[in-house]
A and B are shown apart, each in its own frame.
Chain A
């Protein structure tokens, strides 16, 4: 090897990730996705009364203070978190039931039920928002502002659960597929009852799926605008709906600050999800 003439390695034909033309498309697409958000975050610290102001007038955190002192905004923030937590818990439970039902049992009209479960995932959000709004109005639950917090959030929460749990079911079902039915049979063989098998064998196996389903439900609930927009009353708005009405009214730096808080929350959730995922992977190895 010492005296052999080295031949330069040629570019492999199908390593597209090494082609500068494709790399630049990737770079521009990433830029396109990030620039607006980064600008929003930067300008949440802009010392200017007009939120849409294009001129940098110095650094300040006062709009964060203002946002945190805005009672309406804080109420909306509290609503958002309350709804998300409750919707997540219920979605994971319902999602587990759905996943096990479809994974475990043979029953008539099963393809129809499978279709029904995936329907909330695929239909346009506005159809769901409209139908739930009419449903709550028909049973007299829309805009009943006199109720005490947090019970006034019940219809928005129901609406959130309805679009969250099919997603949770999907994630949990994927996890169920890696379950070895022989483990269950071994437990039964050793004397466990059906309930004990469920509690001691199946649920521990499902745990990563349950966490993934919970994170997905939580994010979806935090993210939702349309369905909440149609099903909420004046006192039961969530942060996105509140921000929307503020944007419609006028663009203020407070909105940038509130949005940045939501973005930060999403980032924290993502980091948590990744941590969990990598931990789960190392456990599997």
Chain B
């Protein structure tokens, strides 16, 4: 992976009638990375993918590939290929014919087509299946055909539309790993569209989070998780418990915010999200939040924790390596905490409904705006 941008997207907007499917989106995709477009359905990620492939024209903005304007190029003239969500493997052609199709329409010599098709099928482990028809293949195999069909074209950019959504759970995990390996082997830049945050986190080098047509954050998976830019991103990439800010003061570099449930909390400057610098804007527009893995639960009052909440023990869900403990609170939705199986077992013995303490350090808390588009600039 280099730092050179292969795709530059500048203030790209797409309107369908008066509805903005994309609203002034700007970011770069770097050469050789796996880039994920993540967001809930209707966030504009599919529109962006269709603009990249050429099936939609943006309403305004710039789209550059290797520094050259991509917008005037028709889909068949772009060095960009796509693996469709439905795979769109041609049912009337054999596997080989499917893979050869993109080369044949380019007018490449037969002998070269033959060697490149064979090579490409080998890459996706389908070398034995060349003569089969798509209906003789499983869903996973058809996806490999769709992959081979685009890899053989050696595109500058490879787009994958929800590549794992049609596979069953077990195959999905295997395919995640395989996609990453395949990308390392071919070195082509991958752009993956997905609504599944765990999928994006597992595969992508960098992720762009979109919501309602706006770009919320572009970051690596770990940055996204640890330093989300707002409450939407924080919640979308993993469970987080947030508490509304009702008062705020500043002490040196730190913010001191008041909450109904937790009282005053000093939030270190490092935990303050990007984009929050106006103290007087915090009340009503921001939350302090903590992730379940940072919450400790004990049956006895903790000696030296910075934040403490008294609650009642709810359900305990065993999850394999660890357990999830529910802490029921009086006047807000219950919290969940990650506990070791041994701790959970100990809590279980004290009984459902018994008094417990949830506690954590302020260093693990984040101060986040409710909505990035309200709080000011993103990035």
Contact = CB atoms under 8 A, between A and B. Distances in A.
A229 B59 CA distance: 64
B60 A13 contact: no
Contact of A7 (B20, B55, B60): B60
A6 B60 contact: yes
Nearest to B71: A7
Given A6-B60, A7-B57, A7-B59, A13 B11 contact: no
A12 interface: yes
Output the residue of A4, A5, A6, A13 with the most chain B CB within 10 A. A4
A147 interface: no
A206 B57 CA distance: 47
Contacts of B20: 1
Contacts of B71: 7
Contact of B60 (A5, A10, A12): A5
Interface in B18-63: 20, 24, 55, 57-61
A189 interface: no
Contacts of B57: 7-10
Given A7-B60, A13-B74, A13-B75, A1 B55 contact: no
B13 interface: yes
Interface residues of A, number: 10
Contacts of A12: 55
Contacts of A4: 11, 13, 24, 59-61
Interface in B211-257: none
A1 B75 contact: no
A16 to B, nearest CB: 15
B60 A1 contact: yes
A8 B58 CA distance: 8
Contacts of A10: 57
Contacts of B61: 4, 7
B17 to A, nearest CB: 12
A1 B13 contact: yes
Interface in A3-25: 4-10, 12-13
17 contacts: A1-B15, A4-B13, A4-B24, A4-B59, A4-B60, A4-B61, A5-B60, A7-B57, A7-B60, A7-B71, A8-B57, A9-B57, A9-B59, A12-B55, A13-B55, A13-B74, A13-B75
Question: Closest 6 A-B residue pairs measured CB to CB?
Answer: A4-B60, A10-B57, A9-B57, A6-B60, A7-B58, A5-B60
Interface of B: 11, 13, 15, 20, 24, 55, 57-61, 71, 74-75
Given A1-B20, A7-B57, A7-B59, 17 more contacts: A1-B60, A4-B11, A4-B24, A4-B59, A4-B60, A5-B60, A6-B59, A6-B60, A7-B58, A7-B61, A7-B71, A9-B57, A9-B59, A10-B57, A12-B55, A13-B74, A13-B75
Interface of A: 1, 4-10, 12-13
